[in-house]
Structure 1
Amino acid sequence: MNAMQEKLFLELRQTKKEIESSLNKQQKQTWLTSILKAELVDINAAIQKFEEGKFGQCEISGEFIPEDLLKMIPTMRSIKDTEDLENYYKKPLSTAFL
């Protein structure tokens, strides 16, 4: 595990604790509950990938996802997810890392 991956791993573990704490404190389901639960599923999947030595690999093709994208979204699962980012990011991704 390189330094960038180690930092992401620690951030994911901390975020997991924070989300779990928030979910445990909630007395009733809100619109935020489903979002937090979905994020927790993604975080757990990313942590499992770290533990299996597969973090950063596309779940579809096995190719490595660019580190710059993983720094922004460490829970990214596939290269296809980068295509979905185009819908939300206003600038072309090719200019995001200049």
Structure 2
Amino acid sequence: MNTDEEKFFSELCVMKKELKESLNIHSGSQKIKHLIIEELLDVELSMDKLTNGEYGICENCGEPMPLGVLEMIPTLKSMKDIEQVEGFYRKQIYT
């Protein structure tokens, strides 16, 4: 792994730990638990991709995704995900 990949892997490890802790806190709410589990699966998938050298590659078109966007949301899977996230921002996050 290169330096950027190590940084992403470290951040994903922290996210994974926090999500697992959140599962214990929100064990009574099935809706919240379901969302946490989905996010946990995304984190684990991203970690697997880092290990296999597939991280940061769009699942739809096979092109590399922008590093700056992955730094904001390290579990993104595709360029389409970036477009959906942009809907929550007042300005474009990727050009």
Shorter-chain TM-score range: 0.7 to 0.9
| Structure 1 residues without counterparts, runs of 5 or longer | none
- The offset of 1:25, in angstroms, is 4.5
Answer yes or no: is the 8 Å Cα contact 2:27–2:33 preserved in 1.
no
How far did 1:52 drift?
1.0
CA gap 1:38/1:27 in 2 versus in 1, 3 angstroms: closer
Give the alignment's TM-score, normalised by structure 2.
0.87
Give the 3-state SS of the residue equivalent to 1:15 in structure 2. helix
1:18 maps to amino acid: E
Alignment of 1:22-41 (within 5 A): 22-41=22-41
1:88 paired with 2:85, answer: no
Unpaired runs of 5+ in structure 2? Answer: none
- 1:42 CA displacement: 0.8
Inter-partner Cα distance in structure 2 for 1:81 and 1:27:
28
1:18-72 deviation per Cα after TM superposition (whole angstroms, max 9, x unaligned): 2112213444225422221111011011011011110101111111001001000
What pairs up with 1:1-20 in 2 under 5 angstroms?
A: 1-20=1-20
Runs ≥4 in structure 1, deviation > 6 angstroms? Answer: none
Any conservation in 1 of the 2:69–2:94 contact (CA below 8 Å)? Answer: no
Name the stretch that deviates more: 33-42 or 74-83: 33-42
Pairwise CA RMSD of aligned residues?
1.7
Structure 1 CA distance for aligned equivalents of residues 69 and 23 of structure 2: 28
**Identity percentage of aligned residues:** 39
Number of aligned pairs? 95
Q: Secondary structure at the match of 2:91?
A: coil
Bigger shift: residues 54-63 or 31-40: 31-40
Q: Contact 2:26 / 2:32 at 8 angstroms: preserved in 1? A: no
